Structure 1
Amino acid sequence: MTISVLLADDQHLVRAGFRSLLRRGKDIAVVGEASTGDEAVRTARVLQPDVVLMDIRMPGLDGIAATRQIVADPALRDCRVVILTTFETDEYVFAALAAGASGFLTKEVDPDGLRQAVRVVAAGEALLSPSVTRRVVTRFAHRPAAPPSGGGDRLTVLTAREREVVRLVATGLSNEDIARQLVISPLTAKTHITRAIAKLGVRDRVQLVILAYEDGLVGPLS
């Protein structure tokens, strides 16, 4: 299976560099390019790529707003957006998460890391390292306490083990960490996460973490 990629960056040289690196992966095809946020949205709707590599600072519609439009389009429900950043600052991280991005890459990513990132996101996984997950957790932990937003109702679709796995995901643990803590295999941990994502109707692991905090499964003192 070939993974289709749309490159969205206002710098021609940057796009050319990423295009050259991606094409070295036999399972990856660059199907289109965009130099503005509006063009990225239009092109994504036409080409329906598996992955969009989206720069944040785009002319006109910025990368965050363009991501929000792509994620909200039912016709692009299988399209995943990875945000390209020069610096992985909290401001960009949380804005992109709220917009529905599936992960982040810095423009200094090495060639193998770039290709593997595209494969990970295309497979439906979140490109979010444990360190970034913990930053999400920290941001939510420092919010003023708020009543759960219907969490009891939404989370009842999960089994007891799935709830426990989601709780551990929300504390920033990797699949391997969860497996060690629950004495299960990493594959089993991943299966529980995949099922929870499907049952709760969220896009990926990132949104799963946010939902867990919003719905009171975990909190600042957890």
Structure 2
Amino acid sequence: GADVAGKAVGALPLVGGWLEGLFLGGDAPGTPTLHRMFALHFGLAFLIVGMVVGHIACVHARGSSSPSASAVPERGMLPFHPYFTVRDMLAIVLVALAFVAVMCLWPELITEPANYRPANPLHTPADIEPEWYFLPFYGMMQAVPFKLGGLLLSGGAVAVLFAVPWLDPAQGAGRSAPALLRLGAMAVLIGSAMATACAGLHHMQGGWLLVARLGMVGYYAYFLVFLPLSGRCRQGAEV
């Protein structure tokens, strides 16, 4: 995994070589790489907790700007309690129960058996693949014939999520496409992500290469084609 990540970072123009050396701590993965990855994961955990706390504080202070705020017209926004506290506590309990059940009864569903083998710096298993939540982006990275393009498209698959409020302004204003159309588009998005993830489990050639590319097109089409067009069509219909 460190070798793949290092080579992906090294594909960046101008600063790629420097970033690869900084990430790996040398010319190849080794002990410095493990130390740096540990420090990165340790720091990211506190960063994520800080962002969650900041987000909850903002919602608690200002309320939610959700379109469903019409349920409390006197405030114009949904109060943090009891709407969000009850909803989030229920979600936490259900996810925790599912997580414990999987880890105790079916751990092989979310872990890679090859990770339990003794480490051998001279041999990488031929069938090793990333964890399941990385597979869609790993499939996109492999589906592009040159490293930089694969890196940009796999990273863009995450970055495009932050652009949704601007890609679909009609949704934030309380106007959205018909429910059946939205469900169909969401089904295409989920199916595309799953297809790309399945392709990431296999060597990228033949049919799996085609599946990965079609899945990537379907994924980006939802954000860059469906959301902007559905918002404009809805606004035009209301006018």
Verify same fold: TM over 0.5: no
More strand by share: 1
The TM-score with structure 2 as length reference comes to 0.25
Higher helix share: 2
